[in-house]
Chain A
């Protein structure tokens, strides 16, 4: 079992937190994982990426994931304005991989869509920011929604593992975050009356997309046993 993930977005959207949660979940499931963030001199809304490698074997490889099995795009401008560290944003994406995009509707250019189709990559458009607001009551949970999508698609970690990771990360335990991340943590914590509520709402956001994507995968298989459907928009009503 092995999966390399690249998360691209704008600083403040929680790519690093999502990567840490995914890695923590993998370790709590009994696997190995390496997590690394990538950013310039830290500021909000600047291109930011994080990378997660998960495997049942010890992982040695460090640094950016050049050849991901899955790419998660947290903001449309990663695609439309090239706000990422590779050009094009899907450079190195492995055949038969996953592309999970925070958007209600397709936004790939014709050229990109064709290249991605050639790779037989499955593309999911998830209205992650909307789901985050509806389910968790804050757009800050966008990263959770996208994590739910990735896990629904790949089962790379268990939901129990993720739940433990969230409790560890936000449950009052010691977690070392940079100053701006700590500030965002404070904003997030103020949104909820109790830590327990934060944990529950974030897990609900994860479960929502997890289930939507799982359901979609079942439909995929019924229509197309090879899962060669190229792009799917997920709606909350699905």
Chain B
């Protein structure tokens, strides 16, 4: 490990020189962990996440991470990582599909405890039938846990968003967990050029004294609702405390918007916003939509793209405004439930112009040809 120096997030994100490397997504996220000044990593391996956490184990051995162990299963890991975060250290963990579901009880708990945990979700199909292939169904479920949710399009996004996640998560007026989601295989196992900041520059360490809830140690009693849980009492105050606390978690997510704008630029990336047809997509569906857009524009069809980078807090104002112009909105997704279409339809006036599809699930990719064909069909049939 080289001698490392602390740099400001602003310098790292916007000014630091970048070196091009040819990496898979799982290597890119480990490179982010290396630069994130992470104290502790607890993981349990699951395809397609395993390589990433294996590499994070290697960088722990090199000294980039202070502590690392493999838990017994995902529920254990996500519980243990909560304990580490309550103790006031910066943590990283990751899981996929069935692992996400096994650990699910902990995600709203992280949000409720206001823990700034960064967890990578390498999304994968869920049982049954058993699959290890990509499918983004779990993001729709994670969206209602109170966590902030980002969705990366490629290994470059995975690197950048993981670092941005720590800085946004740890703002005192936010202080919430962030799920950095990527499509398994299509990002985790896909090798492409990634631009990395210098290996010897890292983010400033986490300062537990800025936490809005008290950091727990042997001399500091846990946060009020842990040492004396509301569940032990059945009275007006306990119900009210629970209700107001949930609202405070959602309010904290709202307060994240200004930091998302500051550090990520914008929660959406827009190409040709005035187009007659707009694709709205996240993750690798946005990559496929980019290619479909280029092909249709070459044919003279006026198509644009809205890539949604942040799923929580959902960029509802931006989406409502962008939805005013086009005659048709197409929402390609890698899952059967169409959670993104549902999300967008619920925020847009005159949502009959929204076509929720095409959807590909079960592990195959969505060829741009399918998006082109479906869009042309919608243009003809309405």
Contacts and interface: CB of A to CB of B under 8 A. Distances in A.
A36 B23 CA distance: 11
B190 A36 contact: yes
B55 A35 contact: no
A23 B22 contact: yes
Contacts of B193: 27, 32
Contacts of A27: 22, 193
B248 interface: no
Interface stretch (A54-62, A141-149, A193-201): A54-62
A176 B24 contact: yes
A77 to B, nearest CB: 22
User: Which applies to chain A's interface (DSSP): helix, strand, loop or mixed?
Assistant: loop
Interface in B25-43: 26-27
User: Which applies to chain B's interface (DSSP): helix, strand, loop or mixed?
Assistant: mixed
Contact of A60 (B187, B290, B367, B369): B290
B192 A33 contact: yes
Contact of B369 (A37, A64, A67): A67
A40 B27 CA distance: 21
B190 A62 contact: yes
A24 B22 contact: yes
B52 to A, nearest CB: 9
Interface string B357-382: 00000001111110000000000000
A55 to B, nearest CB: 11
Contacts of A24: 22
A29 to B, nearest CB: 12
Contacts of A59: 192
B185 interface: yes
A109 interface: no
B206 interface: no
B81 to A, nearest CB: 23
Interface string B1-36: 000000000000000000000101011000000000
B264 to A, nearest CB: 20
Most chain B beta carbons < 10 A, residue from A24, A34, A178: A34
A47 B25 CA distance: 23
B51 interface: yes
Interface string B165-195: 0000000000000000001011101111100
Interface in B189-218: 189-193
B89 interface: no
Given A34-B190, A37-B189, A40-B132, A63 B365 contact: yes
A178 B54 CA distance: 10
A62 B287 contact: yes
Interface in A23-48: 23-24, 27, 32-38, 40-42
B143 interface: no
B191 A36 contact: yes
A50 to B, nearest CB: 10
A61 B291 contact: yes
Interface string A9-22: 00000000000100
Given A176-B55, A178-B51, A62 B288 contact: yes
Contacts of B191: 20, 23, 33-36
Interface in B84-139: 132, 134
Contacts of A106: none
Most chain B beta carbons < 10 A, residue from A24, A60, A178: A60
A95 interface: no
Given A36-B191, A40-B132, A178-B51, A63 B284 contact: yes
A40 B47 CA distance: 10
Contact of B26 (A41, A64, A176): A176
Contacts of A32: 192-193
A221 to B, nearest CB: 32
A73 to B, nearest CB: 21
Most chain A beta carbons < 10 A, residue from B24, B54, B190, B192: B192
Contacts of B192: 32-35, 59
B369 to A, nearest CB: 7
Contacts of B287: 60-62
A66 interface: yes
A41 B47 CA distance: 9
A63 B186 contact: yes
A30 B369 CA distance: 28
15 contacts: A20-B191, A34-B191, A34-B192, A36-B186, A42-B47, A60-B287, A61-B291, A62-B154, A62-B187, A62-B288, A63-B288, A63-B367, A66-B365, A66-B367, A67-B367
Given A32-B192, A34-B190, A61-B291, 6 more contacts: A20-B191, A37-B189, A41-B47, A62-B154, A63-B365, A66-B367
Q: Closest 5 interchain pairs by CB?
A: A63-B365, A35-B191, A62-B186, A62-B284, A36-B190
Interface of B: 22, 24, 26-27, 47, 50-51, 54-55, 132, 134, 154, 183, 185-187, 189-193, 284, 287-288, 290-291, 364-369
Interface of A: 20, 23-24, 27, 32-38, 40-42, 59-64, 66-67, 176, 178
